[in-house]
Chains A and B, each alone.
Chain A
Amino acid sequence: MTERSPRTPDGRPAAEQPRWRRDFPIDVEEDAYVARRDFAKYLVLVSGAFASGQVWLLVRSLLRRSAPPGPPRLVASVDDVPPGGALSFRYPTEHDPCLLIRRHDGAFVAYGSQCTHLMCAVIPDVAAGQLRCPCHNGSFDLATGQPTAGPPRRRLPRIDLDVRDGGIYATRVRLEAE
């Protein structure tokens, strides 16, 4: 049995190779080695990208922790929202849509209005005590903002409210569970 040549793709000796391959010989083993070494280089680049993402999260986290809470903002007056009604507003920035909801017992609650699954707008169903996401049938508990059904796994951001002098003020966003 003849020994296979590692330098040709089919392992046959160079003399048995077609003419075109003898004219343009390629060292297959060397070629595979260089290709895998370059692949390793790109894997390290990918690793660098993941580490950069992690450091970016760390920076965002430190910025979030050190940012002072914004001043209270008047959202609506008490009379603007009847029991069972809802009103949309934006807090703390213009890019953060929120919902102010008055439950049937008269209490006010407010949540970020983007579903924590894929950011669709949630719709309050005050009678059922739920906030529903129509995109994937997710739902959240109206009293706590915790997910109760569907794909969402994180609670809705809760907006702390201060009701005084007939006005409803948003004071802070709470992301974490109580």
Chain B
Amino acid sequence: MSGRRPPGRARSTGEKATIVYGILGVLLVLIVMQLWLLTATTNAWLGGDDSVVIPAALASVACLGLNAGLLFYLFRLE
């Protein structure tokens, strides 16, 4: 494929910027989801409903893991 980066050639700043934009999009979606999770869980918890607290915490920590993984990938581009 002609658009493919030859092995050994470093990515240009423009290519890296495109990757950063893609990663930023994913990060923003995950963070908005975490914000919604925290709001909904707090509301349920204050109303005495404890059943959602554990799954919500697991989901939020999973989102954090994904975000940290994407950031790690971003720094490996250097």
Contact = CB atoms under 8 A, between A and B. Distances in A.
Nearest to A55: B57
B20 A58 contact: no
| B interface SS class | helix
Given A32-B17, A57-B41, A155-B47, A48 B64 contact: yes
Contacts of A77: none
B47 A47 contact: no
A36 B20 contact: yes
Interface in B49-78: 49-50, 53-54, 56-57, 60-61, 63-64, 67-68, 70-71, 74-75
Nearest to B31: A47
Given A40-B20, A154-B46, A47 B41 contact: no
A157 B45 CA distance: 12
Q: Shortest 6 CB-CB distances between A and B: which pairs?
A: A175-B48, A176-B48, A54-B60, A50-B34, A51-B64, A154-B47
A54 B27 contact: no
Contacts of A46: 31
A48 B68 CA distance: 9
B27 to A, nearest CB: 5
B2 interface: no
B68 A29 contact: no
A54 B67 contact: no
Interface of B: 13-14, 16-17, 20-21, 23-24, 27-28, 30-31, 34-35, 37-38, 41-43, 45-50, 53-54, 56-57, 60-61, 63-64, 67-68, 70-71, 74-75
| A interface SS class | helix
A116 B42 CA distance: 13
A94 to B, nearest CB: 20
Nearest to A154: B47
Contact of B47 (A43, A55, A176): A176
